[in-house]
Chain A
Amino acid sequence: MKKHSILRVVAKILIPFVLLFALYVQFHGDFGPGGGFQAGVIFAAGIILYTLVFGLDTAREVCPKRVLECLVAGGLLLYGLVGTLGILLGDRFLDYSVLADHSGQHIGILLVELGVGVTVAAVVVSIFFVFVDRGRH
């Protein structure tokens, strides 16, 4: 689709807003609707739009395979580590109240949702990449 200039321009205008909206949904999830899962999917949708318009090879340069693989595991690890931090600080697994005096729950939920978002985005993008890669040959 590289030759369709209208698609290219519209996608270029749209993608930053999609990614920004994903970040908004991610970090605003404890105030309004949304959260890590939705944010991850929206972020992945932005990258998928990029892949559809600019091709898999360009998108692979933006999100290298190794980075994606690290992110897939990294999000889950972040979730587990935040949970373990609760034990280390003398409370129960996944109890965030000990992380800070008053807003411990808040910080814990924010970090955990970040882990969810990172893993979901990386998994969706990876699955899409292997699908497209298989479709080419």
Chain B
Amino acid sequence: MILLSLLVATAVAIILLRDLFAAVMLSGIFSLLSAGLFVVMDAVDVAFTEAAVGAGIATVLMLGTLTQTSTRERPAPRLDWSALVVVVLTGTALVIGTLDMPAYGDPTAPIHQHVAPAYIAQNVGKQSGRSETDDDDFQGHVPNMVTAILASYRGYDTLGELAVIFTAGVGVMLLLSGLPPTAGDTPETNPAESEAGVDA
């Protein structure tokens, strides 16, 4: 509850601030608070990611962007009433939607009844002919079930996510370093190599 109210306070401060540097710092704090919230909810893997990516890398990248733009936000134009109505309606609909949800941590909630027990037992797709002995570590299974689900049961998903990261990285590199060559960015001395790079 304390964490949640701190989150709301940080969000309001980010909206009200006109100084973008402070807003970036506050968004880092926002991520750190969410990470704390995830730890309280026993989702340590998600908290880990949120702390590393949200509070760490994202803040650094936004600071890098700030060095190339202005650090002051332009004064907002007059209040847009249609946007306010849309936001309030969406928020109300979302809150009404949560009223039907089972209580947090309720063991009889549908999400705990469907495939989750099989994942926890780690016997999805286990082949019947293959005997599991006790002497190998964890019967060949992985004690952290988040890792087991992400890397094994949902291997296709993770492969796709990795492809997304790869594509994003290549895209950013092409966009930003494909600009007119600068003094610091001298091409490779080997002409054949740079020609091959152009062809590719």
Binding site for B on A (CB under 8 A): 25, 29-38, 41-42, 44-45, 48, 57, 69, 72-73, 75-76, 79-80, 83, 94-97, 102-106, 108-109, 112-113, 115-116, 119-120, 122-124, 126-128, 130-137
Contact = CB atoms under 8 A, between A and B. Distances in A.
A36 B197 CA distance: 30
A123 B169 contact: yes
B155 A112 contact: yes
Interface of B: 44-45, 47-49, 52-53, 56-57, 60-61, 64-65, 67-68, 125, 127, 130, 132-133, 136-144, 146-148, 150-152, 155-156, 158-159, 162-163, 165-166, 168-170, 172-173, 176-177, 179, 182-185
Residue picked from A83, A124, A130, A134, most chain B C-beta under 10 Å: A130
- Majority secondary structure, B binding face: helix
For the complex of A and B, 10 pairs with smallest distance between CB atoms: A123-B169, A94-B155, A102-B136, A131-B64, A33-B44, A130-B176, A30-B142, A41-B52, A109-B151, A135-B67
Contacts of B168: 123
B45 A126 contact: no
Contact of A73 (B127, B138, B142, B166): B166
Contacts, number: 155
B147 A76 contact: no
B166 A35 contact: no
Given A31-B144, A33-B144, A103-B137, 12 more contacts: A34-B147, A35-B144, A38-B52, A72-B170, A104-B140, A105-B140, A106-B142, A116-B158, A119-B162, A123-B168, A126-B173, A133-B177
